[in-house]
Chains A and B, each alone.
Chain A
Amino acid sequence: MEPESPEVFVRDASGLVKAAGGLDVFIYNIGLISVGIGLAFTHSFAAAFYPSGSIAWASAIAVLLMLPVGLAMWYWSSSLPRSGGVYVYVSRTFGPSIGFAASFVECVSWLFYAAVAADAINSMALAPAFEALQTPQVNFLFETSGGKFLIATVILWLCFALLYSGMRRYFTVQKIMFTLACVGTLSLLYVLVTTSAPEFREAYNAFASRAGYLNYRETIEVAKQSGFRKTSATLFGSLKTAVWPFLPLIGGAFSIAIGGEVRRAVRNQRVGIFGSILLAGILFILFGFQSYDVFGREFQGAVNFLAAQGHPDVSSHTNIVLLSLIGTKSALLCWLITAGFIAWMYFWIPGVLSYVSRAVLAWSFDRVAPEMFAHVNEKFHTPTYALLFTAIVAQVFLVLYLFTEFFATLVFILGAALAWLIALAAGVAYPRLCPSLFQQSPHAGKRMLGVPMMTLASTGGLVGLGTIVVLLWNDSVAAGHDLPSVITISGLFVVAVVCYQIVRVYRKRKGIAIERAFDEIPIE
């Protein structure tokens, strides 16, 4: 009889801490996908400006394009299970100069979206809620640029204060907000499932009558006269639309930032990354179909089209939040849905501030950023200046986003996507450029036709994300490639590379070669 498999004898040594499991990683990622932001932006912009796109099919396509990206990031996070994400992967493979540039561009991009999310809480959740409840006395806050700026600024700095005050308080708030987000999402689904198309039309007409807006049919007619065209949904049209649901799905791979804390990374990152992408994708698809059934595809496009044009006879806060609130007669459901959206949009802000401040801290530890960014607050043990820096940058972006036309909504996603493309390219090259490190990876033996699976997966990720980049490049609504945008994105890369070189020369004079920080020490 065979003896039983012996267990590894493991000492009770400190540091042998069992880390996070698959469910933990899943919750982390789904919080950063921000279903609310995805729904709000997709159902506004996609409905209005992509008449040949089906939101549901676009969401499905976004999932299909994101899955290979998730797969590549899974390979990375389980091959090099260290916290730090893009900065670590690219520095290790292509060197710290490119690693810093990719991380810098990525972080700046995410901070822009933290500002967008701060405004979205106001413009896409609070404002529609107050309008649906028809409380004109507070509407002024949401109408004026000053009011929007004030609310978003308060939200941004509340998030900063929350993070600054310590992680324990932050996680307590996270738990509450996650519960709210789930309840709100279920409430929204309930409303869409239990409201028929005729009931919605009737409710919308009553709302429009009270508010002095165009009714349901008039909205469609006026939109057509203004240039809106309803066409049948096509595959290519839905492909172009996919850029909108794709952005939030990137959050499904954000667990690369906490890779060092995940036990059994192969299994648990797989559960967390794919589980969150698939669940969010299913929700996006479901809401896509349901919104068409209840609101009507043509009406949803027409009303959002007119709202985006600033037409005075439709609500400027038109989005899925407003439409679904109009469709329900329950004030309780109204506030649950609103709270859910606010919670989803909230997640993105401190999540990004925390992610970026960790990157800034890492740059400082690697002697690329000033030493002050490594300072930890004595009372709360949080990185004071790194956090402050991220909040200030996000604040600046808020100003630019609200008061200038310079930044189209998704232009910075192009920057972040390019940074991730570099990380994916690093994934293609990693098995060849870092063979001894790769040999220690759990994926070292996995090959197809002699090619490491990590290389193949990263190539698939390049195709998936590359498709989105091409779409964004050619999409003047989402991003485009006008000269200011190109200068902005490429300028960020150039600034980062130049800064790194300046620091490298400065340190060299003191006897330290920072470019060797990630060189592997050779042994026989």
Chain B
Amino acid sequence: MRLFFATDLHGSNVAYKKFLAACNFYEADNLILGGDVTGKGLLPIIELSGERWLIGGEKNSESVLQEAREVERARAEAYRKGFYVMAFDREEWERRSSQADMDELFRCAVERGLRKWREMSEDLPDACLPIYWCPGNDDPLFVEDVLAPSQDGPIVNTDSSVVEFGSWWVIGLSCSTPTPWNTPRECTEDVIYEKLVGLLDRVQKSNRTILNVHVPPKGVGLDRAPALKENGTVKLEPGGSPETLAGSYAVREVVEEYQPALGLFGHLHGSRGFARIGKTLCVNPGSEVERGILNGCVVELNEQGVVDFQLTSG
């Protein structure tokens, strides 16, 4: 069996289309999608008088567009980078200015975007379906109801579940260890351990198990993140940039103990790579969706386990 895994798509329509196309492109039998499917933000476009548009940007930046094609270009770039675009007329924009308004608008945009993803998934050949998906720490709690409202649809939610496909099981876990950003799904190490152990105890053969866990195991090379200064910027010093480790001890402990066949992780976009914990192959393909690139991993499995694998960058 050949499967394709990608993660941290962050609302990028280009990335999701590539993910769906990957089934044929890499001749995969199954698709597994990691967490953090929610986009990063909302780009407002305000229509002014006289065929001009004011587009959201950084503070004090020039942002008046005078041609419709410029607007389309900006819209396309935003979609590629994982931003949701919303159009307003001037009066409507001036009415919606509070944080609560923006939160509500963002939720609407997320729901609309993920519904579109679900619809696109329904067009996949049956051989590629269902897609086994687990949310990530950045995904608000309502996303499951939009992207995978039932286990009969094109996308199956594996979060905190044991899902069987063929002679294999997929176990998912969405929460990460605490981050500086107070994201929707964060757990302590103890909670992560208890959840994973509880799930793995339900599987008869852990060596036929695939983990689709958002946060990677700590300290095996898949959880490198740039060290931050107090103001949130990355430290960079003569000769290189210091790193910190942002993975989970609990995940590592569970993998060491239960030795599943395969661990598929994400969360740290820049920590692309693989490692072996005992016999378990652990992979984090990383993420570059803001540049229109879909990072993934093709894994070839047989009755004995993982035969071979390849990190991809398409």
Contact = CB atoms under 8 A, between A and B. Distances in A.
A5 B298 CA distance: 44
A231 to B, nearest CB: 40
Interface stretch (B16-24, B124-132, B148-156): B16-24
Given A5-B61, A11-B106, A81-B291, A351 B233 contact: no
A258 B241 contact: yes
Contact of B46 (A3, A8, A92): A3
B221 A376 contact: yes
B25 A521 contact: yes
B239 A365 contact: no
A14 B238 contact: no
B94 interface: yes
Contact of A175 (B18, B238, B276): B238
Nearest to B285: A365
A102 to B, nearest CB: 17
B112 interface: no
Contacts of A8: 41-44, 56-58, 83
A18 to B, nearest CB: 5
Interface stretch (A280-288, A291-299, A504-512): A504-512
Nearest to B99: A9
B238 A347 contact: yes
Given A383-B221, A512-B309, A260 B270 contact: yes
Contacts of B275: 374-376
B54 interface: yes
B25 A5 contact: no
A375 B307 CA distance: 19
Contacts of B198: none
A261 interface: yes
A31 B56 contact: no
Contacts of A511: 2, 300, 307-308
A518 B57 contact: no
B243 interface: yes
Interface in A82-141: 82-83, 92
B207 interface: no
Interface in B212-228: 219-221, 224-226, 228
B8 interface: yes
* Contact residues on A (Cβ < 8 Å of other chain), bracket: 35 or more
Interface residues of B, number: 92
Given A437-B292, A521-B18, A510 B300 contact: yes
Interface in B242-259: 242-243, 245
Contacts of B137: 14
A265 to B, nearest CB: 10
Given A5-B56, A516-B26, A521-B18, A32 B239 contact: yes
A437 B237 contact: no
Interface in B27-71: 36, 38, 40-44, 46, 48, 54-64
Interface in A1-41: 2-3, 5-21, 24-25, 27-28, 30-32
B191 interface: no
B165 interface: no
Interface in B136-180: 137-138, 176, 179-180
A14 B242 contact: no
Given A28-B239, A437-B292, A14 B176 contact: yes
B239 A19 contact: no
A518 B43 CA distance: 31
A3 B54 contact: yes
A72 to B, nearest CB: 19
Contacts of B308: 367, 507, 510-512
A375 B274 CA distance: 9
Nearest to A10: B41
Contacts of B233: 17-21, 263
A13 B181 contact: yes
Contact of A28 (B238, B243, B294, B314): B238
Given A8-B43, A9-B42, A375-B275, A381 B219 contact: yes
A9 B102 contact: yes
B188 interface: no
Interface string A234-264: 0000000000000000000000001011010
A81 B292 CA distance: 12
A18 B234 contact: yes
Nearest to B245: A381
A82 B119 CA distance: 32
Counting chain A CB atoms within 10 Å of each CB, which of B2, B25, B245 scores highest? B25
Contacts of B183: 12-14
A17 B238 CA distance: 20
Interface in A367-422: 367, 371, 374-376, 378, 381, 383
B242 A168 contact: yes
Contacts of B43: 8-9
A17 B179 CA distance: 12
A507 B310 contact: yes
A202 interface: no
Counting chain B CB atoms within 10 Å of each CB, which of A3, A9, A354 scores highest? A9
B14 interface: yes
A27 B40 contact: no
Nearest to A508: B308
B118 interface: no
B108 interface: no
B313 A24 contact: no
B56 A14 contact: no
Given A365-B272, A512-B298, A523-B21, A3 B238 contact: no
A514 B310 contact: yes
A261 B234 contact: yes
Contacts of A31: 238-239
28 contacts: A5-B54, A6-B56, A6-B93, A7-B57, A7-B59, A8-B41, A9-B56, A13-B138, A14-B176, A17-B233, A18-B234, A20-B235, A32-B239, A168-B242, A261-B234, A261-B270, A365-B274, A376-B221, A437-B292, A440-B77, A511-B308, A512-B308, A517-B312, A521-B18, A521-B22, A521-B25, A521-B314, A523-B17
6 A-B pairs with least C-beta separation: A31-B238, A24-B236, A376-B221, A521-B314, A20-B236, A510-B308
